[in-house]
Structure 1
Amino acid sequence: MQASTTCPYCGVGCGVTVDHDGNTIQHVEGDRDHPANFGRLCVKGSALHETLGHHGRLTRPRVDGVDVDWGTALDAVAERLAAVRATHGDESVAAYLSGQLLTEDYYVANKLFKGFFGTPHLDTNSRLCMASAVAGYKRAFGADAVPCSYEDLEDAELVVLVGSNLAWNHPVLYQRLRTAKTRNPLMRVVVIDPRVTDTCEIADLYLGLKPGSDARLFNGLLAWMADKKRLDHVYLDAHTQGLEGALAAAREDDTSIEAIAADCDVDPERLQTFYYWFASQLHVVTLYSQGVNQSSSGTDKSNAIINCHLAGGKIGLPGAGPFSITGQPNAMGGREVGGLANQLAAHMDYHTPGAIDRVTRFWSTDSLTPDLPQGPGYKAVELFEAIERGEIQALWIMATNPAVSLPDANRVRRALEKCPLVIVSECMADTDLLEYADIVLPASSWSEKNGTVTNSERRISRQRGILPPPGEARHDWWIMVEVAKRLGFGEAFAYAHPCQIFDEHARLSGFENEGEGFRLFDISGLAGLDRTAYDALSPIQWPVNASAPQGTARLFEDGRFATPDGRAKLIPVRPQGPAQTLSEARPLRLNTGRVRDQWHTMTRTGRAPRLMNHRAEPFIEVHPDDASSHGIGDQQLACLTSPNGEYRGRVRVSNSQRRGEVFVPMHWTDRFSGNARMGSLLEAHLDPVSGQPESKHGAVSLAPLDTDWEATLLVAGDLASDATWREEAVYWARIPLANCQRWQLAGGENEARDWLAWVQQRLPVAPTLWCDDPASGRLRAAGIDNGRLRWWLMVAPPAELPGLAWLDERFAEAQLGKDARRRLLAGCEAGEADSGPLVCSCHQVGQKAIVEAIRGGDTSVEALGARLACGTQCGSCIPELKSLIEEERSHARSEQKPEVVDVA
């Protein structure tokens, strides 16, 4: 059978076609009819079926550490929440949600907590990624309204990418842009980012600006446009206000190209080229993401970008507009229903005239009138500070892991320990958060959940339930509905299917939504769908109403905005540097972000072994000069420290880093490594408007990790439950493979260590084969039990590892053959070549094989694809392929000997 659904990863919102038999999914591919991706799918999406299965799932409710039935669990939730409210008041209860929830889940949660518990303290992890973009749009346009569509990227004459590694974080959208650029040789792409990322592969111009200087750069652009008479005064006079104040603020600093370039640490000629290109083209899209948002002045940075678009009239046209690209699959859907603490519902805020009364009347029933809060609640970081102070006595967390993702994560953990009641709705049985939970509720996951999501271009798509949830796992909306019934709110939560929730959500969006105070978010045209129509709902962009029954691709084409006077506002912006200041003790600027093949805290992607191969361990990316000055070499282990914590990872020396700056990934948790939680390094500095934390601008010190030995241990899954070997390691990382677990270990005190005895103390299977070299401290050994390989150990740096695919396959064999046993310590077949570090995850092609093919004459991406298949599926590895081709060309040129001519 085949079904259509939506990918649960980034905000691109790709359509997915699924082949299944009703109980398992055999294959996934991109939906060729979905307008977000037209059949494209990145490697994470292509591996979705590999992340499924009942192993490691939560399948039973748990109360105070004891498995219980649903009736007992729901009674406990309702009784304890009621007791907290009765003793400490409505606002002692809070919820922390996630952009991984479906819109229907979000709607029920917002209605239950704000409408019927009467607490404003409901926020979401979207606060960590999108809040500043939202605040910027609202200040400028009067609404949280992304004006663009993906087609605008293809129609643009100039695309500016700011703080966005699109190639890794939104790969399908990157491929659409790359294809569009190939078709239109006149299109230009500018990349503005402190790091040289894979996105730079398509850049015509790169500006490697100093972290935090974005607002200064765009303020300078606004002033330059004014000085060069490139402002669109016709558009400004007809549709905007605030130009004078925005220009005056921009001119408070020196607006010469030389001064701006010095402040941003970029080349003056490159800066002037960017300014000229932006001012000269009408069809300009500026696409920005976390590099702009995750700042203590992220809202101002967003408005500095928007100011330039308004000033040039570069909005409301095909191929034009300020385009904030969303990080999570349903961050926008959560905002639509009021999932942020400063929102009510349906894009109504507490300060919107009449909004509290309007939502109260809509949610009321004949016998029950909700008592809505009168003002905003605590935003994410403030929420956990309130828990620490004791103001919040009960917290319900759904589909997210604040013990890892929030800044000052160790303080968050202390707050969770202190909170009297922590309820966690989660689909996985092993996350960092569960140890703090009093009540654990097993939730459904992708392929089981049924509802809608909204992507970065305002497109609502169906995520369809294809498989039954495992065990007793239930949908989040159902869990909350059952709790509401037990608390006496059943009449207001009489939902039997998500289509009923969606219908109510759609009706609320159009409720009293007309006249001067109209709200842009309006999907009233989708109200009244029965279950059949809801199940068949095709992707559509809001607004969807009587005026736009087929949806709306682009906003503000008529120049009318959602402000009281219908005009957009240019906002005065005064650039601010990062709040986390550098010092002699913390001299390095920390940047954080995603890697290509992983997602959030790896609870899903960590289940697909091939997604672990591209970047298998937590790492620290460092400029060669900084590595040298700190006495650290490539692939050496090192430690970053801040006042709040530390991070241990393997160094990757890279010229893509600016001097004085380091980059670490956000994904690793205590389930995958020791001391590799990025959030433990960051201080909790917030944007004063949006409340979004400053996650891109930490201040850290760097030092080598003191180790005497490194080892790689492969172990069968059933032997890895205790993992006592990590207790004495100063560094460890767990890397799931298809048939075993890989543990990368390092520690001290290696003198005269008896490694064979070490293994015997920690594993039930004694060494069977070994090769020991005490003089060098090297050892290879293996344990075989009843003909099956149970563990394999190499004591040596991981650079000496063979390719592990062959060894991994041996763990799946019921009986090792003689030849396999003979080759076991070598770790590979006789004559088998190691393919090197993985480059193409889709087809599992390594660097050595690619380099060999390049040296053999395959000197283009197309030729490599024809020979090795790399780069032919999702395309995410194409920038790396191009880099390898260029490296080999440079290497070949450097080895050319000068021609000797004898004229005698």
Structure 2
Amino acid sequence: MLDEHPFPETATTCPYCGVGCGVLARPSADGQRAEVRGDAGHPSNYGRLCSKGSALGETLTHEERLLHPQIDGKRASWDGALDLIADRFRDAIDTQGPDSVAMYVSGQFLTEDYYVANKLMKGFVGTANIDTNSRLCMASTVVGHKRAFGTDTVPGCYDDLEEADLIVLVGSNLAWCHPVLYQRILAAREKRGTRLVVIDPRRTSTAEDADLHLPIRPGFDVRLFNALFHALATSQARDDRFVALHTSGLEAALEAIDTVSPSDLAAMTGISDKDLATFFGWFIAIDRTVTVFSQGVNQSSAGSDKVNAIINCHLVTGRIGKPGMGPFSITGQPNAMGGREVGGLANQLASHMDFEPDNVSRIGRFWNAPNMATRPGLKAVDLFNAVADGKIKALWIMATNPVVSLPNADKVRRALDVCPFVVVSDVVSSADTVAYAHVALPATGWGEKTGTVTNSERRISRQRSFLKPPGECRHDWQAICAVAQRLGYSGFDFASPADIYREYAALSGFENNDQRDFDIGTHGNISDRDYDALSPFQWPLPAATSPAGKLEGRSHRFFADGKFYTPDRKAHFIATPFRPAQSQPSDDLPFILNTGRIRDHWHTMTRTGKSARLSAHIAEPFLEVHPDDAKAIGVEPACLVEARNAYGIARLRALVTDRVSKGTVFAPMHWTNRFSAKACIDALVAPNTDPASGQPESKHSTVALRPLKIDWQAFAVLTEEPDAETLKPFAYWALARTDKGWRLEVAGIGDMITALRTIVREPDALALSTGAGREAIASFAGKTLTGFVIGTEGAPVEADRSWLAGLIGTDLQSDVRIGLLAGRPPIGASCGRIVCSCMGVGSQTILDAIEDGAASVSAVGAATGAGTNCGSCKSEIASLLKVSLETVNISEHVAAE
């Protein structure tokens, strides 16, 4: 049967997290949408996609795209923009030296982009002042790996998660942040009975599924793993043969541990004696153990020590490099690993080399580089401090939004404001950082660019283009090479990503001889055709190795032979004495602030903010607060709260919940000035960093809280986006897309009625007053609802938001209009708050299925479709089940009485 579609499917790779899922994409006729499904043949996901990946086709619109180069906010030609960049960089280099210029790049880069950027700066400009936003997520893991293994090697693979008998998740809400991997774990658990331990201060969706949740006090991971290390070293789990033959430094590492009694350890960590004993007992007894760690470990001023404390536990038991065993770092971005391989961090060189003289010489000879950098450059936080101090005269920011994502974000804004010359390459014009650009360059986005990425298990996959770039957008590697050529540098005449990949692969094998872990030298002469057809594969793939077999999806592990990449070829135990977090609570700043991701949004929402369904689950910024703390400071559930410290303020919706412990609060990192007022949480994150890795401590700042003083609150749905002038007077607002318009949470001071009419922008709109401080206004074009707002004095608005959001831009009958003004749907008309974004299933639909007899998560899935795609909503479904069944049981008990 002939394919009825005019466009073929393209096999590519998802641009979100480090799982690296394979995607099959088919573009729409207008090139602004796509049909997207999981690639069943890709060994990372075998066809599964999470809610974000499933919605990729909805994020490709040209709306808000940066389509043409701009100089000082005005349209310019590419030649004019590139000439100006080269002139300003050359002037700074000639007058102030090469360290007066810098680049700040991204794990959203493809490896080919990363390679030419680092080649330009470190080989030809002569400075290592190029760092990446991966500094914010995985730099501590790099240090931990290098200290223990001699190189930045992830030992295991995803298959280990399915072959383990015990999986320990540390600082990782895998169910929300890496849901496809999490579903692989749950499937294996059902098959083999794998035990799951979750170590996290919050009771996350992942913790809800755990056999054992250890709600550790923030910052005490090293204490916990040092105690576990000591217990393992004195137990039958210790592998004396492995330790003797393949490691060094055990005794020194053990001597550095400040041993404490079980009761003292419980008091320090906040974990009960019983749970500690269970955890230690399982880890000692169960051979096939994998410890998965992510940002909760890395984003700490002791992040590198946390990584090594975990690795020490695996080395002392010899549980590394074997099926179902090992420490496993899960990366946050699609190409954080590729950036680490190509030397994207300021303290690295390409192909997992560092700044040792032999490596500097080797790369300099390979590149024929005239000005090789000989020492590490400025790491992210230090780099932007140097911008603020006037030491950096020209800065090029690419594919990242640092005025939102860096700690002490308001200082970053001020730094860019005074920087003499800022270049920003981005996909969208609305990214907060673009506003600070002297030159803005329109970059290609996912679906338009082509190259390679590396996932968390060292698997290199192709991202392929299936869309024509709009306007005058160009690939990042093209812009970098064009500037390099204008600066007079040779070696940047690449014609395609395949050209770059060949050179990069050849460098990885150059003078290697198994001295470096990263080696894909067999691709040094890869043809354009083979590059285009490249199947996902795990490195290493040295020139002496035939690709056959490696490309068939078979997994590769490091260190099974006990050989490492340290000078003595042994793994090194690292002493990790406990150091407390740099910021500690005080009377003025009594709460520890933890930050992180939510299920359906990504980074600063420049992509996911375009999708209505990805905003349906959680549509506004929030702050989780423990009930006892909320009561003590006068914060009511769902009221607005202001968090504050010396660095900035943030205004958020209070979510009063015992998922956080007393004295701690949690806020998501995603909201920016594009979608909210004063909700950028990184403005409050202290610029404390790990002394070894330079990674910021995003999980442990201190803040004060207070209820936000407002006179009224409102909820609105609108066909047209409210402009900045409309929103500017309000004390609080948060904006999100709906299928046919926008939804808005807003609060302010002063007359509510005047404000509500300003929001609707229709002087003759239909109004309803209940006389109890509740007002509603609706506007129509014929029968079509064009605007609706409902407000209350002081208290949060009670309304069925999902139902109202679905009405905007639709024709309404008179009976619906009556319910509209009350904010409540007719009986049976609402699906409730969205729980499953993939399938668009709401809470009421799930509750109805439960009432009809669905008594398990799988039964609810069969009845409604909820939880049947990525599964990241299953814990929420389980909670609804639990509450419903408990209610039924109570009712039956009362009836029996």
Band of TM-score, shorter chain = over 0.9
Structure 1 residue aligned with 2:476: 476
2:351 counterpart of 1:346: yes
Unaligned regions of 5+ residues in structure 1, if any? none
SS in 2 for 1:825: helix
Q: Distance in 2 between matches of 1:758 and 1:633?
A: 24
Q: Does 1:323 align with 2:328?
A: yes
Shift of 1:569: 0.1
Distance 1:190 1:819 in 2: 52
The superposition leaves residues 286-334 of structure 1 with CA deviations (integer Å, 9 ceiling, x where unpaired) of 0000111100010001000000100000001000000010000000101
Correspondence 1:661 to 2:667: no
Matched with 2:588 is 585
Task: Measure, in 1, the Cα distance between the counterparts of 2:493 and 2:138.
Answer: 32
The reply to whether residue 13 of structure 1 matches residue 13 of structure 2 is no
Q: Which residue of the other structure, out of 575, 596, 617, is the alignment partner of 1:614?
A: 617
- 1:137-157 CA distances to partner (integer Å, 9 max, x unpaired)? 000000000001000000011
Q: Is the partner of 1:318 in helix, strand or coil? A: coil
Secondary structure of 1:883 counterpart? helix
2:600 aligned partner: 597
Structure 1 residue 564 displacement after superposition: 1.0
> Which residue does 1:738 correspond to in 2?
739
Secondary structure at the counterpart of residue 343 of structure 1: coil
- Check conservation: 1:147, 1:321, Cα contact below 8 A: yes
Question: Following TM superposition, by how much is the alpha carbon of 1:843 offset from its aligned partner in structure 2, in angstroms?
Answer: 1.6
Conserved? CA contact 2:804–2:820, under 8 Å: no
Question: What is the SS of the residue equivalent to 2:884?
Answer: helix
The structure 2 residue matched to 1:357, chosen from 355, 361, 364, is 361
Q: What is the Cα deviation at residue 852 of structure 1?
A: 3.0
Amino acid at match of 1:811: G
Partner of 1:801: 799
Counterpart of 1:55 in structure 2 is 63
Against the structure 1 CA distance between its residues 806 and 411, is the aligned structure 2 distance closer, same or farther, given a 3 Å change threshold? Answer: closer
1:810/1:202 CA distance change after superposition, 3 Å: closer
Deviation at 1:681, TM superposition (A): 0.8
**Contact 1:178–1:202 (CA under 8 A) maintained in structure 2:** no
The Cα offsets for residues 823-868 of structure 1, whole Å up to 9 and x where unpaired, read as: 6535676444333322111122222222232233211112111221
Instruction: After superposition, give the CA deviation of every residue in 1:772-801 in whole Å (9 maximum; x if it has no partner).
Output: 23x322221122346654322111365422
Amino acid at match of 1:404: V
Residues 70 and 441 in structure 2, CA contact (< 8 A), matched pair in contact too: yes
Q: 1:511 — aligned with what?
A: 510
SS of equivalent to 2:733: strand
Partners of 1:807 and 1:148 in 2: CA distance: 45
Rounded Cα–Cα distance in structure 2 between residues aligned with 1:111 and 1:473: 23
Structure 2 counterpart of 1:4, from 11, 14, 29: 11
Deviates more, 1:191-200 or 1:451-460: 191-200
- Describe how 1:99-248 pairs up with structure 2 within 5 A: 99-185=107-193, 187-248=194-255
Deviation per CA, 1:692-737: give whole Å up to 9, x if none: 00000011111111111011222223x52x2433222111101111
Extract unaligned runs of 5+ from structure 2. 1-7
Which residue of the partner structure matches residue 566 of structure 2?
563
In structure 2, C-alpha distance between the alignment counterparts of 1:23 and 1:714, rounded to whole Å: 28
Cα 1:850–1:77 shift into 2, 3 Å = same
Alignment of 1:330-409 (within 5 A): 330-351=335-356, 353-364=357-368, 369-409=369-409
Q: Is the 8 A contact 1:22 1:467 kept in 2?
A: no
How many percent identity over aligned positions? 49
2:49 maps to a residue whose letter is L
| Alpha-carbon distance in 1 for matches of 2:253, 2:567 | 20
Moved more, 803-812 or 422-431: 803-812
Deviation track 1:85-144 (CA, whole Å, cap 9, x = no partner) reads 122111100000000000000001001111111111000000000000110000000000
Shift of 1:3: 1.0
Of 260, 263, 271, 2:268 maps to: 263
Equivalent runs, 1:443-842 vs 2, <5 Å: 443-489=443-489, 491-514=490-513, 518-550=515-547, 551=550, 553-717=556-720, 720=722, 722-750=723-751, 753=752, 755=753, 757-758=754-755, 765-773=762-770, 775-785=771-781, 788-796=784-792, 799-805=797-803, 808-811=806-809, 824-826=820-822, 830-842=826-838
In the alignment of these two chains, the number of paired residues is 881
Select the residue among 868, 873, 876 that pairs with 2:869. Answer: 873
Equivalent-residue separation in structure 1 for 2:651 and 2:873 (angstroms)? 27
Structure 1 residues 822 and 887: alpha-carbon distance in aligned structure 2, compared to 1, 3 A threshold:
closer
How far off its partner does 1:810 sit?
A: 4.1
Paired position in structure 1 for 2:295: 290
Q: Normalising by structure 1, what TM-score?
A: 0.95
Give secondary structure in 2 for the equivalent of 1:219.
helix
Give the equivalent residue in structure 1 for 2:102: 94
Deviation of 1:809 after TM superposition, in Å, equals 4.5
Q: What SS does structure 1 have at the residue aligned with 2:491?
A: helix
SS class of match (1:591): strand
Aligned-residue offset at 1:769: 1.4
One-letter amino acid of the structure 2 residue matched with residue 725 of structure 1: T
Equivalent-residue separation in structure 2 for 1:229 and 1:807 (angstroms): 60
Residue 506 of structure 2 aligns to which amino acid in structure 1? R
Q: Distance in 2 between matches of 1:760 and 1:588?
A: 38
**Contact 1:759/1:767, CA 8 A, preserved across alignment:** no
Distance 1:157 1:296 in 2: 32
The alpha-carbon distance between structure 1 residues 691 and 277, as it changes in their structure 2 partners (threshold 3 A), is same
Distance in 2, Cα, partners of 1:638 & 1:657: 16
Q: CA deviation at 1:764?
A: 5.2
Q: Name the structure 1 match of 2:34.
A: 26
Distance of 1:2 and 1:619 partners within structure 2: 39
Which residue of structure 2 aligns with residue 277 of structure 1? 282
User: Structure 1 residues 759 and 886 mapped into 2: Cα distance closer, same or farther (>3 Å)?
Assistant: closer
Query: Are the equivalent residues in 2 in contact too, given 1:60–1:441 (CA < 8 A)?
Result: yes
Q: Tell me the SS of whatever aligns to 2:675.
A: coil
The residue identity in structure 1 corresponding to 2:708 is L
The separation in 1 between residues aligned to 2:472 and 2:517, in whole angstroms, is 40
Normalising by structure 2, what TM-score?
0.96
Greater shift, 280-289 or 823-832, is seen at 823-832
The 5 A counterparts of 1:63-74 are: 63-74=71-82
Q: 1:768 to 1:359 in 2, by over 3 A?
A: same
Change (3 A) 1:363 1:632: same
Contact kept in structure 2, 1:623 and 1:662, CA below 8 Å: yes
By how many angstroms is 1:887 displaced? 2.0
CA distance in 1, matches of 2:231, 2:749: 58
String of CA shifts for 1:381-406, please: whole Å, max 9, x gaps: 00011111111111100010110111
Q: Which moved more, 1:760-769 or 1:498-507?
A: 760-769
Residues 74, 806 of structure 1: CA spacing in aligned structure 2 closer, same or farther, 3 A cutoff? Answer: same
* Structure 2 letter corresponding to 1:331: A
Task: After TM superposition, give the deviation of residue 873 of structure 1 in Å.
Answer: 1.3
Partner Cα separation in structure 2 for residue 7 and residue 546 of structure 1: 28
Please tell me the residue identity of whatever aligns with 2:835.
V
1:11-55 Cα shifts (integer Å, max 9, x gaps): 000000112357534311110000000001001000000011111
Q: Alpha-carbon deviation of 1:652?
A: 1.1
- Relative to structure 1, the CA distance from residue 706 to residue 854 in structure 2 (aligned partners, 3 Å threshold; closer, same or farther) is same
Residue 282 of structure 1 contacts residue 313 of structure 1 at CA under 8 Å; is this kept in 2?
Answer: no
